[in-house]
Structure 1
Amino acid sequence: MSMIVVEALKGKSVADHTVEVVERKGKGHPDTICDSIMEAISIALSREYRKEFGDILHHNIDKGLLAAGKVTRRFGGGRVVRPMELYIGDRATSKVGKKIIPVKEIAVDAAKQWFRDNLRFVDPEKNVKYKVLLEQGSEELMDIFSRPGEFKGANDTSAAVGYYPLSRLELLVLKLERHLNSETFKEEFPETGEDVKVMGLRKGRDVQLTVAMPLLSRYVLSEREYFEKKARVLRGMTSFLDDLKGLNLKTDQVYYNNLDQEGRGLGGVYLSELGTSAEDADSGQVGRGNRVNGLISLNRPLGTEAAAGKNPVSHVGKIYNVFAHKVAREIYESIEGIEEVYVLLLSRIGMPVNEPAVANAQLSLKPGIKIRDVAPRVQEVIERELEDIRKFCMDLAEGRYPVC
C-alpha cells in the first residue's frame, strides 16, 4: 500500500514570481532528435514484443548520441561532406528461447522513419550513419518481466515530479515553437529550418523572447536576401504573438537569430543545409532536451531521469515522470479551489509500479480554501490513477503520451 501525503504548497506559485525563465527545443534540435528517435525505437520494439510474445519485454533505449556531421554551405545551396552519426544504446531483449528478435533492424528502421516524418531535408539513407549498440540486459532486470503479477516491479529506485497547470510563459513558449514548426508556418516560410529553440524570460508581465531558427541555404541567394527573408519571418512570428492576447503578456521584445551581423557574409548569418545544427555545428544527446511536458522550466522542480526510450512497463524513470504530470492535471481539473498542483512520486526497486513508496501532492489553494477541504478528494484521485496505471503504461507504449 502506498503512502499518500497531501499538503499545502509552501511559498509562491510560479505565476507570482517576478522573474521566470522557460526554454523549449524544437524537433530539429539535436537533443530533441535524440530523445524523439530513442522513444520511437522503444515504441517500435514494444509493438514487436507484444505481437510476438503478448507482452512488452525488457529494453531501455535511453542512451543515444547524435554526432554532428559536416557540410559546406553557400548562398543558394551546399552539400553534405560527412553524414551525421547516430549511436543507439543501450539494452534490448533480442532472444527468447530460440526466437530471435531483429532488434537492430527495428531500431534503424524506426530512426529512419522518424527522420522522414519530421525533417524535410534530411535523407535518412544518405545523411545519417547508424551505430546500434544494443545488448541483452542483466539477468535480474530481465527477470522482472517474467515474474507473476498484473504489474511489473519497478526496475529502479527513482523520484519524479509533475505539475499543472502550465504558467502563461510556459504556454507562450510552447505555442510559439509548435507554431514555428507547424505545417502552416513551413508552407508560408519554407526557407526556415526545423532546428528551433525558444528561450522566454518574463519579468512581471514583460516578456523577452530569444528565438534561433536557421534559414535554408537553398532558398537564400545572397546576404541581402537573407536579411530580407529574416525580417519577413520575424514579422510572421510577431504577428502570431500578437494573436496570443489571452495570455495577458507583453511580447514586444523578440530577438531572432541574434548572433547575425550584416557585412560578414556567411560568417554573419545562420544558414543551414539540412535544417538542423546537427549537420555540422552541434551534437545531441538523450536527456539534455525538454522535460516530458515539452519544456525546460527553470522555476519548476526538475527530475534528473531521461525518460525517452526507457521501457514503459517497469522503468519508473519514464513511467512516473509522465504519470506525475497526468495525476497533477487530473487533480487540478477535477477538484475546485486549487490554483496549482505538484505531484512527487518515489519508487522502490522491486515494488509493483502501482505502489510507489510515496505519492505526495502539494497544492496551492485559492483564498478561503483549506487543505482539509480538498485532501480526501485529492487522495481519491491519486488512488484511482494508480489503480489504472496499467492502461496508462500501455498508452505510453503506443506513444500516446509524448516525452519531449
Structure 2
Amino acid sequence: MFLVEQYKGALVTEQAVEMVERKGTGHPDQICDCVMDAISVALSRAYLQTFGTVLHHNIDKGLLAAGRVEKRFGGGEVVEPMELTIGDRATFSFEGKEIPVQEIALAAAKEWIGKNLRNVDPERHLEYRFKLAPGSQELTDIFARAGEVRGANDTSAAVGYYPLSPTEKTVLSLEHELNSERFKKLFPETGEDVKVMGLRRRDELDLTVAMPLLAGSIESEREYFDRKEKVAQEMRRFLQAGLRHFSRIDLHYNTLDEPGRGLGGVYLTLLGTSAEDADSGQVGRGNRVNGVIPIARPIGTEAAAGKNPMSHVGKIYNILAHRMAREICNSVAGVQGAHVMLLSRIGDRVDRPHMANAQLVMEPGRRAAEVEKEVEEVFEREFAEINSFCLMLAKGAYPVS
C-alpha cells in the first residue's frame, strides 16, 4: 500500500535548536556495528559461494567489553584485553555441508579491526567470545520457501529522510575528516575514537569534539596541550568551508581536560579507542544508517548492523527508506524534501510492504497531490529491484552507520 501526502511538521532547519551527533571509527559502539556487519557480509559471501544463495543469519547482537590499560606519558601497557562478544544466529549446515561460521566470523572481525584501528592488534588486544546458534525452525524456513523474493522475518517499521541539513552535513564531514588518511598522516598522534556533537542555535553552530591523543606520542602534559592546540587549529581551518551556512562556528575540543592535573586532566589512550579501559560498546547504540544521530529527526529503533540482508527488514527497510527519500527528491520536480516510512508484516514478501508512506516538503505553491503518481512510481521501481538491492546489501555496498 502506498500513501503520498504533504509534510505538515516544522522543518528541522526552521527550528531554533538542532542537535546532531556522530560517533567515529574508533568509538566502541561504532566498532560493534561495523564489525558485526562485516561478519554478516563475510557469511553472506561464503553462503553465496557455496550454495548460490544467502542463508539465514542475524549477527546483530554484539558487545565490546572494555579492557584495562596502564598509561603514562610516553607509553603504557595493556593489562587486560578488550572482549568482543559476537552473537545471535547463523546457518551452520545446509544440504549436508558444514559452514565454518565461527572461523568466518573471527576472521572478518580481525580483518576489520586490523584495517581500521591502527594501534589495536586484533590478536593481542582483544579476546573473542561467541554466542552463535542455529535459528528457529520457522525463521529458517523462510529461506526454504519458493519464490525469488524472501518473506519478511519481522513486523517492523523504518523511516528515512532527505536531504541532510547543513548541521548534519558538517558533523558528518568533520568526523570523516578527523579519521581520514590525510588527517592521520598530519596528526598521527590522534586516535580513532572520535565523537562530534553539533548544536545549532538559530544560525550559530557549536561543535563539541572528543578525540584522544596517543600516550606513546605524548611525552608530557605540556606537549599534550601544545599538540591539542595544533589539532584544534586544523579543525577550525577545515570548518571554515562550512561558514557559508552559519554566521559562526565555535569549536570545543576535549573539554574535560584541565591543566595541572597530569594524566587525570588529559584525554590520552594507548590504543586510540576508549574501549581499552573506559567505555564499552554495543550494537545499535551508534549512528543511524545515514551516518548521524539526529536528535530532532524521525528515527527508527532497529539496529541495522549485522542483520540478514535478504529478509530482515530492520536492515533492508532502514537503508531503503533513506534511499527512496533521496530518489524522490532527486527525480520528482517540485519536491524539496521527503520523509519515507516503510512497514513490513512478518511473512509478507519484502517487496510488498504493508505500508510505504512518503511525506513531501514541496516548493512554495506546489502540492504533494500534484506529484503523487510520480512518487508512487519511485516506490514501484525501487521495490521491483529489491533483489538486486538486497544482494548489494549482502556484499556490503551500503554502509550501515
Shorter-chain TM-score category?
A: over 0.9
Give the one of 104, 115, 118 matched to 2:102. Answer: 104
Give the C-alpha shift of residue 250 in structure 1: 3.6
| Alignment match, 1:30 | 28
Give the C-alpha shift of residue 338 in structure 1: 1.3
Tell whether 2:253 aligns with 1:256. Answer: yes
C-alpha distance in structure 2 between counterparts of 1:63 and 1:252, whole Å: 38
| Alignment match, 1:131 | 129
Tell whether 2:354 aligns with 1:376. Answer: no
1:51-98 CA-to-partner distances (Å, cap 9, x unmatched) read 010000000000000000000000000110000000000000011142
Please say if residues 84 and 279 of structure 1, whose CA atoms lie closer than 8 Å, have aligned partners that are also in contact: yes
Tell whether 2:350 aligns with 1:353. Answer: yes
| Alignment match, 1:211 | 209
Please say if residues 72 and 78 of structure 1, whose CA atoms lie closer than 8 Å, have aligned partners that are also in contact: yes
Give the one of 221, 225, 228 matched to 2:226. Answer: 228
C-alpha distance in structure 1 between counterparts of 2:341 and 2:218, whole Å: 49
| Alignment match, 2:173 | 175
| Alignment match, 1:394 | 391
1:305-349 CA-to-partner distances (Å, cap 9, x unmatched) read 010000000000110000000000000000121121000000000
| Alignment match, 1:319 | 316
| Alignment match, 1:300 | 297
Structure 2: gaps (5+ residues): none
3-state secondary structure, aligned to 1:117: helix
Give the C-alpha shift of residue 370 in structure 1: 1.3
Give the C-alpha shift of residue 251 in structure 1: 4.2
AA in 2 matched with 1:65: L
1:339-393 CA-to-partner distances (Å, cap 9, x unmatched) read 2100000000000000000000000111011122111111111111111111110
Give the one of 20, 26, 46 matched to 2:44. Answer: 46
Please say if residues 161 and 342 of structure 1, whose CA atoms lie closer than 8 Å, have aligned partners that are also in contact: yes
Please say if residues 337 and 361 of structure 2, whose CA atoms lie closer than 8 Å, have aligned partners that are also in contact: yes
| Alignment match, 1:157 | 155
Give the C-alpha shift of residue 249 in structure 1: 1.5
Change (3 A) 1:251 1:42: farther
C-alpha distance in structure 2 between counterparts of 1:69 and 1:308, whole Å: 23
| Alignment match, 1:63 | 61
AA in 1 matched with 2:46: E
Give the one of 350, 360, 365 matched to 1:363. Answer: 360
The alignment yields a C-alpha RMSD, in angstroms, of 0.7
AA in 2 matched with 1:325: H
Give the C-alpha shift of residue 263 in structure 1: 0.2
C-alpha distance in structure 2 between counterparts of 1:370 and 1:327, whole Å: 19
3-state secondary structure, aligned to 2:151: coil
AA in 1 matched with 2:381: R
Please say if residues 257 and 265 of structure 2, whose CA atoms lie closer than 8 Å, have aligned partners that are also in contact: yes
Tell whether 2:251 aligns with 1:240. Answer: no
| Alignment match, 2:113 | 115
Give the one of 180, 187, 190 matched to 1:189. Answer: 187
TM value normalised by structure 1: 0.98
AA in 2 matched with 1:201: L
Structure 1: gaps (5+ residues): none
3-state secondary structure, aligned to 1:145: helix
Tell whether 2:63 aligns with 1:72. Answer: no
Give the C-alpha shift of residue 244 in structure 1: 2.4
Identity among equivalent pairs (%): 61
| Alignment match, 2:283 | 286
Please say if residues 151 and 349 of structure 2, whose CA atoms lie closer than 8 Å, have aligned partners that are also in contact: yes
Structure 1 runs (4+) deviating above 3 angstroms are none
Please say if residues 66 and 280 of structure 2, whose CA atoms lie closer than 8 Å, have aligned partners that are also in contact: yes
Please say if residues 65 and 283 of structure 1, whose CA atoms lie closer than 8 Å, have aligned partners that are also in contact: yes
C-alpha distance in structure 2 between counterparts of 1:227 and 1:345, whole Å: 49
3-state secondary structure, aligned to 1:140: helix
Please say if residues 4 and 369 of structure 2, whose CA atoms lie closer than 8 Å, have aligned partners that are also in contact: no
C-alpha distance in structure 2 between counterparts of 1:383 and 1:350, whole Å: 20
C-alpha distance in structure 2 between counterparts of 1:52 and 1:97, whole Å: 10
| Alignment match, 1:15 | 13
Give the one of 276, 294, 302 matched to 2:273. Answer: 276
AA in 2 matched with 1:44: A
Give the one of 382, 398, 403 matched to 2:400. Answer: 403
Aligned residues: 401
C-alpha distance in structure 2 between counterparts of 1:336 and 1:202, whole Å: 30
C-alpha distance in structure 1 between counterparts of 2:49 and 2:368, whole Å: 47
| Alignment match, 1:198 | 196
C-alpha distance in structure 2 between counterparts of 1:13 and 1:223, whole Å: 45
C-alpha distance in structure 1 between counterparts of 2:291 and 2:300, whole Å: 13
AA in 2 matched with 1:62: D
C-alpha distance in structure 1 between counterparts of 2:387 and 2:99, whole Å: 25
C-alpha distance in structure 2 between counterparts of 1:136 and 1:171, whole Å: 41
C-alpha distance in structure 1 between counterparts of 2:27 and 2:347, whole Å: 36
Give the one of 382, 385, 395 matched to 2:382. Answer: 385
3-state secondary structure, aligned to 1:349: coil
TM value normalised by structure 2: 0.99
